[in-house]
């Protein structure tokens, strides 16, 4: 049995925690998938590269509102796909090659399973390998959830892991789900020319993930772009490959050449035989960790989608920095804080948020104030001809401290950052509005004015 100082399960964010500070540490990295993990190969990065192209296509379609005569002739899907994955596949391969070239890192490609305390077996192409370590970091990620009605049908379907690599652009795409992943990929394929139908069991898109005002506005905005089937569930999948028949719970039958399943993701903890090492998981399958990201087993940490309460890449990156510090500085551990985690949805309109939604503030019976400022009421909003965007801010009425912020419109993922800083540092709305100077006529004025509007509400 090969012994290591440190074993990392996962070549995504887990791989990223191994930097020059670990030069004297004998490390093994074990991964069943390519280096870079979900983010690089099938998630954040390829989807946003496709979104950027979709936004270009939409800008051409919308050029007339600015007095520009332009015509979109076509989106060359295979060229777009090759540009995206030609770069990312190279990044993944070079990442693995770099680790294999290191004199203190061993790479195993295969699925790892625990066999005892800090002991593992790795099923590689060359057979099973037994390894053990002084310390282990579990960063094994997650995978898409596929409902039985789809999986048991025996008919082909796509997930976010596969749909971005299709050889041909779908003509009739049905998207099952109404969350972040579903919304972004529906935006991409509709912009590229696919007819998109979205089936969502909730009454609104993003209903469980966004502030009610944002969810309602986004749902309304998408009615003209997608065929929405809200409050509906998929009950049967039949037909044949390339000509699927999808039956909904109201008896409606949809026809599609491609079905994209985007109803959520689950942690890969069930693949690791964690019970053999005394590593606990919660009811949702997430590995149980404390504030220092230690599991219930001595010498074992966890990070990323396999354990985090907020499965976002920037959260995993912070968790990796926390774990790396704690591995290197026992007795001086740092803790992870999830109080002000921002998120964004890269659709058109773009969406971003941080802190509480209004419904959460209401459910907690907080004494809060709300203000909303529209993009259409600031000068750069005029320049963009934007009529639907807005910034919504929520503050504690007694102290004026910001407790939530939501943006719906162009550049939302960038505009939210000043509000993230405010929530993280405990700034009041007045301090953020009055302290720094805000550039005129930049779009940031929509944030500034929302904060000022909030001051007129607060008593």
User: pTM of the entire structure?
Assistant: 0.96
Give the model's pLDDT for residue 223: 97
Question: For residue 172, what are the β-bridge partners?
Answer: 195
Could you report the per-residue pLDDT of 419-454, keeping only the tens digit for each?
Answer: 999 999 999 999 999 999 999 999 999 999 999 998
Residue 95 and residue 37 in contact, taking contact as beta carbons nearer than 8 Å: no
Parallel, antiparallel or unpaired: strands 234-240 and 243-248:
antiparallel
Give the model's pLDDT for residue 457: 43
**Minimal CA–CA distance to 168: which of 42, 254, 50, 258?**
258
- Domain 148-263, classified CATH 3.40.50.2000, yes or no: no
Residue 322 and residue 383 in contact, taking contact as beta carbons nearer than 8 Å: no
State the burial class of residue 105 (Cβ atoms within 10 Å of its Cβ: 0-12, 13-18, 19+).
Answer: buried
CA distance 415 to 381: 13
CA distance 50 to 283: 35
Note whether 148-263 and 349-457 share their fold.
no
**Minimal CA–CA distance to 186: which of 128, 246, 261, 257?**
261
- Greatest distance between any 2 Cα atoms in the chain: 71
Residue 298 and residue 134 in contact, taking contact as beta carbons nearer than 8 Å: no
Q: Which of 3, 104, 329, 440 is catalytic?
A: 440
Report the topology of domain 349-457. Answer: Enolase-like; domain 1 (3.30.390)
Could you report the per-residue pLDDT of 169-196, keeping only the tens digit for each?
Answer: 999 999 999 999 999 999 999 999 999 9
Could you report the per-residue pLDDT of 278-317, keeping only the tens digit for each?
Answer: 999 999 999 999 999 999 999 999 999 999 999 999 999 9
φ and ψ at residue 364, rounded to 5 degrees: -85, 0
Q: What is the mean pLDDT of the chain?
A: 97
Residue 7 and residue 120 in contact, taking contact as beta carbons nearer than 8 Å: yes
CA distance 269 to 138: 9
Q: Please state whether the peptide bond connecting residue 349 to the residue before it is cis, i.e. omega within 30 degrees of 0.
A: yes
Parallel, antiparallel or unpaired: strands 243-248 and 253-256:
antiparallel
**Minimal CA–CA distance to 12: which of 351, 293, 300, 267?**
267
Residue 187 and residue 51 in contact, taking contact as beta carbons nearer than 8 Å: yes
Assess whether pLDDT exceeds 70 at residue 458: no
Alpha-carbon distance values, 292 to 264, 280, 299, 302 (Å): 27, 16, 12, 10
Assess whether pLDDT exceeds 80 at residue 161: yes
Alpha-carbon distance values, 60 to 65, 375, 411, 424 (Å): 10, 21, 18, 38
Residue 179 and residue 208 in contact, taking contact as beta carbons nearer than 8 Å: yes
Assess whether pLDDT exceeds 70 at residue 459: no
Is residue 314 among the annotated active site residues?
no
Alpha-carbon distance values, 318 to 11, 330, 345 (Å): 16, 18, 20
Domain range summary for the chain, segments of one domain joined by +: 2-143+266-328, 148-263, 349-457
Superfamily of chain region 2-143+266-328 = FAD/NAD(P)-binding domain (3.50.50.60)
Could you report the per-residue pLDDT of 116-130, keeping only the tens digit for each?
Answer: 999 999 999 999 999
Q: List Cβ neighbours of 180 (8 Å cut-off, separation of 6 or more).
A: 206, 209, 343, 345
Assess whether pLDDT exceeds 50 at residue 218: yes
- The three-class DSSP label of residue 421 is helix
φ and ψ at residue 82, rounded to 5 degrees: -65, -40
Could you report the per-residue pLDDT of 94-114, keeping only the tens digit for each?
Answer: 999 999 999 999 999 999 999
């Amino acid at each position: 049995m090969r012994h290591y100082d440190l074993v990392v399960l996962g070549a995504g964010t887990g791989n990223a925690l191994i930097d020059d500070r670990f030069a004297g540490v004998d490390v093994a990295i074990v991964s069943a998938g390519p280096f870079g993990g979900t983010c690089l190969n099938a998630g954040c990065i390829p989807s946003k590269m496709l979104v950027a192209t979709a936004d270009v296509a939409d800008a051409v379609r919308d050029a007339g509102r600015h007095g520009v005569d332009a015509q979109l002739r076509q989106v060359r899907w295979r060229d777009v796909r090759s540009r995206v994955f030609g770069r990312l596949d190279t990044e993944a391969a070079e990442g693995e090659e770099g680790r294999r070239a290191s004199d203190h890192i061993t790479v195993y490609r295969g699925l790892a399973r625990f066999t005892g305390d800090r002991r593992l077996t790795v099923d590689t192409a060359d057979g099973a390998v037994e390894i053990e370590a002084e310390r282990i970091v579990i960063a094994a990620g997650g995978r898409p959830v596929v409902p039985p009605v789809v999986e048991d049908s025996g008919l082909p379907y796509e997930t976010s892991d596969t749909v971005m690599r299709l050889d041909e652009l779908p003509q009739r795409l049905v998207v099952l789900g109404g969350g972040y992943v579903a919304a972004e990929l529906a935006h991409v394929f509709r912009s590229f020319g696919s007819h998109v139908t979205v089936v969502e069991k909730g009454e609104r898109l993003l209903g469980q993930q966004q502030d009610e005002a944002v969810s309602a506005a986004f749902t309304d905005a998408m009615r003209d772009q997608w065929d929405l089937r809200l409050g509906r569930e998929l009950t049967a999948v039949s037909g044949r490959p390339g000509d699927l028949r999808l039956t909904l719970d109201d008896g409606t039958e949809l026809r599609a050449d491609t079905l994209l399943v985007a109803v959520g993701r689950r942690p890969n903890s069930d693949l690791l035989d964690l019970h053999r090492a005394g590593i606990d998981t919660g009811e949702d399958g997430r590995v149980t960790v404390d504030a220092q990201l230690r599991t219930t087993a001595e010498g074992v940490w966890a990070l990323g989608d396999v354990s985090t309460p907020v499965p976002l890449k920037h959260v995993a990156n912070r968790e990796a920095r926390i774990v790396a510090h704690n591995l290197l500085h026992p007795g001086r551990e740092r803790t992870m804080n999830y109080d002000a985690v921002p998120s964004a949805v890269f659709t058109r309109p773009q969406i971003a948020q941080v802190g509480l939604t209004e419904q959460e503030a209401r459910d907690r019976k907080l004494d809060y104030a709300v203000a909303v400022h529209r993009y259409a009421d600031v000068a750069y909003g005029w320049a963009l001809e934007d009529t639907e965007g807005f910034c919504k801010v929520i503050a504690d009425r007694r102290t004026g401290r910001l407790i939530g912020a939501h943006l719906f419109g162009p550049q939302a993922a960038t505009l939210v950052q000043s509000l993230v800083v405010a929530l993280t540092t405990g700034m009041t709305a007045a301090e953020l509005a009055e302290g720094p100077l805000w550039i005129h006529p930049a779009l940031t004025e929509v944030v500034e004015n929302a904060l000022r509007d909030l001051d007129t509400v607060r008593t």
